[in-house]
Structure 1
Amino acid sequence: MKSQILPAIKAFAILAIITGVAYPLLITGIAQLAFNGNANGSIIYQNGKAVGSKLIGQEFTDAKYFWSRPSAVSYSSSLSGASNLGPTSAKLDSTVNARRQSFASANEVKANTPIPADMLCSSASGLDPHISLESAMLQLNRVAKARGFDAEKREKVVHLIYQKSHTIDFATNEMRYVNVLELNLEINKL
């Protein structure tokens, strides 16, 4: 039995060094060389200062900013997760209705205008940094009014929204989305 223990310990030590030290260091090195920005959290810098990550949503409540999608975890990256409320949940129904009224009121949305689901329901992670193009366009008037933008600057904001938007093609159902932090940072420059 002693003759089997020593080789087992040696094999364990070698595999632990390979899989627990050498391989992670190799992959980290490759990631740092090939994908440095992504490997370090896709941090967005402004004037040399980190202002956020393009991958993690942030809360914007000021009327002069485009608002992010609601978060079930108060935008805490250490608590990533969903509310886990199902379609028959009275609490979910109440929350969605409250969000609908709040969003419609703040953005002066007409009663018969549909509000996109991304402004009513939180994402599965609670940290989605994107909103749909439709959600951004519904917030345009509020943001332009809060910033005192004239018609020319308002058109620049529309252009920025489309410039900053990206397309996801789910084979047949195309969707455009906008990164809220990136859009708000660009609007600050106007």
Structure 2
Amino acid sequence: MVEQRLAGPIIRVSIMTMILGGLLYPLAATGISQLLMPERANGSLIYENGHPVGSALIGQNVQDPALFHGRVSAIEYDAAASGSNNYAPSNPELIKRVEGTLQEWKKENPSVPLNQVPMDLMTDSGSGLDPHISPEAALAQVDRIAEATSISKSRLKELIVDHTEGKEWGFLGERRVNVLLLNLALKKE
């Protein structure tokens, strides 16, 4: 049992730690973030006509054939449940899901041979919320969108090029396209 003379210092240190770690540090971090990068600190929200339509950091479940579709999500795009099943390539559940995704892809995009479907459209991201696809994945959807919208394929390809982001700091990651930003630009056409 703790000696009586140690109880006071232990309680004071505990209270001080709670105040520093539970109150002052979060307030300081939030304040600095709001000053240095307010857009990111507020969730990188994207607005259309003054109303938030999503975040540049979280993918959305797009079903409209006239819009670009993002990656498959193992968590149904629920940001509260971020994560992935992390199945091995030989796992029957993964094989079943990928086969189903391929069949759905073929119905929606009959002009693209199955062996040319970009892998990122068939697989989950680590978080299940990835808002980006590869430029190749966006290009693979051009025929379907051109047919659904009557926008020329060349204009759709221009939109993809205009919305392709480079590697982070010039060398990290891959080139990518934010699906939400691309779809908002597409809706303005």
Structure 2 length as normaliser, TM-score? Answer: 0.90
Q: Structure 1 residues 83 and 7, CA, compared in 2 at 3 Å: closer, same or farther?
A: closer
What residue number does 2:158 align with? 159
Q: Aligned residues, how many? A: 187
Bigger share in strand: 1
Q: Identify the residue that residue 175 of structure 1 maps to in structure 2.
A: 174
Contact 1:73 1:126 in 2 (8 A): yes
1:145 equivalenced with 2:144 (yes/no): no
Q: Which amino acid aligns with 2:26?
A: P
Instruction: Note the C-alpha offset of 1:51.
Output: 0.1
Change in Cα spacing, 1:121 to 1:8, as seen in structure 2 (3 Å) is same
Aligned counterparts, 1:29-68, within 5 A:
29-68=31-70
Measured after TM superposition, the shift of residue 172 of structure 1 is: 8.4
Conserved? CA contact 1:109–1:138, under 8 Å: no
- What is aligned with 1:91? 93
Partner of 2:183: 184
- Measure, in 2, the Cα distance between the counterparts of 1:110 and 1:22: 55
Distance 2:95 2:123 in 1: 10
Q: String of CA shifts for 1:103-148, please: whole Å, max 9, x gaps.
A: 1331123436421111111111111111111110010111111012
Give the Cα–Cα distance (whole angstroms) in 2 for the partners of residues 101 and 172 of structure 1.
Answer: 35
Identify the residue that residue 113 of structure 2 maps to in structure 1: 111
Structure 2 residue corresponding to 1:102, chosen from 104, 108, 123: 104
Change (3 A) 1:182 1:173: closer
Q: Which runs of 5+ in 2 are unaligned?
A: none
Deviates more, 1:103-112 or 1:77-86: 103-112
CA distance in 2, matches of 1:22, 1:172: 36
Contact residue 59 and residue 130 of structure 2 kept, 8 A = yes
Deviation at 1:174, TM superposition (A): 7.2
Residue in 2 that maps onto 1:136: 138
In the alignment, the residues of structure 2 paired with residue 112 and residue 84 of structure 1 have an alpha-carbon distance, to the nearest angstrom, of 23
Q: Which amino acid aligns with 1:36?
A: P
In structure 1, the partner of 2:20 is: 18
- Can you list the C-alpha shifts for 1:147-178, whole angstroms capped at 9, x where unaligned? 122x3xx3222111111111237x98973210
Query: 2:77 maps to what in 1?
Result: 75
CA RMSD of aligned residues (A): 2.1
Q: Counterpart of 1:189 in structure 2: which amino acid?
A: K
Identity in percent? 37
CA distance in 2, matches of 1:144, 1:47: 25
Paired amino acid for 1:119: L
